[in-house]
Structure 1
Amino acid sequence: MEKINENIRFSLAKISTDQFAIISNSFKIGDVVNLKTGLQFGADKENKIISVKASFQFEQQAIPFLIIEASCFFKIEPTDWNTFVVEGEIVVPKEIITHFTVLTVGTVRGILHAKTEGTNFNGFLIPTVNVTKLVTSDVRM
């Protein structure tokens, strides 16, 4: 178990690759590449799990050529889970959800490398991401 804030104990319970695609005929050598990023958060109250899904889409002229989406599921110790329950809602403090997001983005980066290894698309990397600019407040679910 990892400890954050001396209060929240958790473990990484599961990783899932939710979507992966290489659309090679959409890629044009020399064209500008843009990267779209998305985050989704979820809570499984019964099993006391917080999930973070990160998605990345490499595209040229708004047409995707490399898509990856993966999720990490963080199991929270039952007594610590109760600190997330506020008036029937799950509220994950910004500091904790930011940490979970950093772990998830790093995991997706590794999945992308593994899935593109040995292909011409292995040079497309998820850049370092300042997660504090993506996660700006507590997350309510």
Structure 2
Amino acid sequence: MEGIQFSLKKINTEQFAIVEDVYNSQIEDINLEVHINFGTSSESSSIVSIIKFQFKQNDKFFLIIEVSCEFSVEKGKWNEFRKEGKLIIPQGFLAHLAMITVGTTRGVLHSKTTNTKFNNFILPTIDVTKIVTEDGKFDE
């Protein structure tokens, strides 16, 4: 992201589950839910992007993955985010971090499902700007 120096510091698999008895390979109707959340730490000048994907069939989840990526932001820019006791993180920057986290989650899912029938479930490309639509406002 132009103008904001940042680095990826940590990747965590927060949640991973396969519920094999819920999945039926004969049923093609599969839904995918996407959840994006963010957190901040002023102590470490960092933003955590958390992405959760849930594959669902017959209103039951059969494949769940949640991954977080922690990004460290250059201290000078972090201080620019501070406004009246809040952190205001620009929408475009949050969307960029979310996109990196989606790609990371895609790789984690592939790795965790290697040599299983669930390896065919590849996370689609998503336009995170349609999900992350406004600046993030966080308490300091």
Give the TM-score normalised by the residue count of structure 1.
Answer: 0.95
CA drift at 1:30: 2.3
1:1-141 matches, cutoff 5 A: 4-5=1-2, 7-31=3-27, 32-141=29-138
Partners in 2 of 1:45 and 1:8 — Cα distance?
A: 16
- Note the aligned Cα RMSD (angstroms): 0.8
Partners in 1 of 2:58 and 2:83 — Cα distance?
A: 44
Q: How many residue pairs align between the two structures?
A: 137
State the secondary structure of the residue aligned to 1:67.
strand
Counterpart amino acid of residue 47 in structure 1? S
For structure 2, which runs of at least 5 residues remain unmatched after alignment? none
CA drift at 1:57: 0.3
Counterpart amino acid of residue 90 in structure 1? L
Partners in 1 of 2:82 and 2:109 — Cα distance?
A: 34
Q: Which stretches of structure 1, 4 residues or more, deviate above 2 A after TM superposition?
A: none
